[in-house]
Amino acid sequence: MASNFLFPSLPLLLFLLLTHSGAWPAPQLSTDFYGRSCPQVFDTVRSVVQSAIQQERRMGASLLRLLFHDCFVLGCDASLLLDDTPTFRGEKTAKPNNNSVRGFEVVDQIKAAVEKVCPGVVSCADILAITARDSVVILGGPDWEVKLGRRDSRKASFKKANREIPPPFFSLANLTASFARKGLSLGDLIALSGAHTIGLAQCLNFRDHIYNDTDIDSSFAKMRQAYCPRAVGSGDSILAPLDLQTPTVFNNDYYNNLVAFKGLLHSDQELFKTIGSNSVPLVKYYSGNTAAFFNDFVVGMIKMSDIRPLTGKKGEIRKNCRKMN
């Protein structure tokens, strides 16, 4: 026993060497994960996303947002997609999601199309990651290779959906802390917020900003006030574009809006508010440099879609994205 202790066996040595040198890492995401098992996955997802966006341009924005709201709660594990049942409370009715996140029917269509070509192979979590990329590309944004190999959760968290998805009334300090808890930097926060170059928001989410905040262009505030009554409860769900210039094109106008104090959400304008605040230079930079924004947005998206994936034997490959197998 003593000699065994002093001279560990060769397999044990190899094990220690490999696990500690990182040469034998835990299963990780990779771009060719479905290279053999489902090479058709990309074409299949793309064509459903394409036709959904053709029917309604906004859907591209809605699909992109799904990935954010999934990844910030328990990691990128499709926990967001689980439906509530009488015995199970999922994330869909949590405050940031209820009557707000959309696109679940499109995800169902994509999953059905993928199941047809490769049954039981592709996770719903990976479908969300590919779908977000495709939406950005179709609306004119940057392209990138999506890392794959996530598996689907067998749980969800209503509580964490309420606590960990940042709300629109957050300050810059609150937003920074929220992203830091997910391993994302201030730079990632600023680049990823550029997703608000597409899509719409409801009056209840920007009412305080257009009536009470002072860091807003007054003619822009008046324009938005005309379609968002001051009284809480009246016109709460009336929509306005997050980017007043080109709400269905993925470009850098979001930053141009911030520089002109025409951000729609309080949280948007927080990124460009106080002179001397450490987010100001990057907002200015992106407002004048689309290529830099696109580059950093891609970096942020890859980091965000890497948050705590289930890999290897963890979780499962759901048959139906709305329920556990």
Ligand X SMILES: *[C@@H]1O[C@H](CO)[C@@H](O)[C@H](O)[C@H]1NC(C)=O
Residues noted as catalytic: 69
Per partner kind, with CB cut-offs from 5 to 8 A, the member of ligand X, ligand HEM, none near residue 207 is ligand X
Least spacing, CB of residue 9 vs ligand HEM, in Å: 49
Q: Work out what residue 93 binds among ligand HEM, ligand X, none; the CB cut-off runs from 5 to 8 Å by kind.
A: ligand X
Looking at beta carbons only, is 40 or 109 nearer to ligand HEM? Answer: 109
Phi then psi for residue 185, to 5 deg, are: -85, 175
Query: In the complex with ligand X, which residue's Cβ is closer, 19 or 98?
Result: 98
Residue 102: CB minimum distance to ligand HEM, A: 5
Output 38 or 139, the one with its CB closest to ligand HEM: 139
| 230, interface contact from ligand HEM, ligand X, none, CB < 5-8 Å by kind | ligand X
Picking from 274, 64, 296, the residue whose alpha carbon sits closest to that of residue 187 is 296
Residue nearest to ligand HEM (CB): 199
Q: Which does residue 202 bind out of ligand X, ligand HEM, none, counting CB within 5 to 8 angstroms by kind? A: ligand HEM
Question: What are 110-116's contacts with CB under 8 Å, separation 24+?
Answer: 110/44, 110/45, 110/48, 110/49, 111/320, 111/321, 113/44, 113/45, 113/47, 113/48, 114/38, 114/41, 114/44, 114/45, 115/319, 116/44
The enclosing H or E element of 241 equals strand 239-241
Interface contacts to ligand HEM, rule CB under 6 A: 58, 61-62, 64-65, 68, 100, 102, 166-168, 170, 175, 189, 192-193, 195-196, 198-202, 205, 242, 265, 267
CB closer to ligand X, 112 vs 180: 180
102 binds, among ligand HEM, ligand X, none (CB under 5 to 8 A by kind): ligand HEM
Cβ atoms 109, 102 nearer than 8 A = no
- Least separation in angstroms between residue 320's CB and ligand X is 23
**End-to-end CA distance of the chain, in Å?**
47
Site residues (vs ligand X, CB under 6 A): 93, 98-99, 171, 173-174, 177, 207-208, 211-212, 230
The residue type of 108 is: D
Q: Which is nearer to ligand HEM, 34 or 257 (CB)?
A: 257
What is the distance between the alpha carbons of residues 192 and 126, in angstroms, rounded to a whole number? 19
Q: Which is nearer to ligand HEM, 34 or 248 (CB)?
A: 248
Q: Could you tell me the smallest distance in angstroms from the CB atom of residue 228 to ligand X?
A: 9
Instruction: Quote the least distance from Cβ 304 to ligand HEM, whole Å.
Output: 7
Long-range pairs for 273-278: beta carbons < 8 A, 24 or more residues apart: 273/172, 273/215, 277/172, 278/186
Contacts of 218 (CB under 8 A, 6+ apart): none
Q: Which does 64 bind (CB under 5 to 8 A by kind): ligand HEM, ligand X, none?
A: ligand HEM
Closest to 112 measured CA to CA, from 309, 313, 322, 316:
322
Dihedral angle over CA of 262, 100, 161, 229, nearest 10? 50
Q: At its nearest, how many Å lie between ligand X and the CB of residue 160?
A: 13
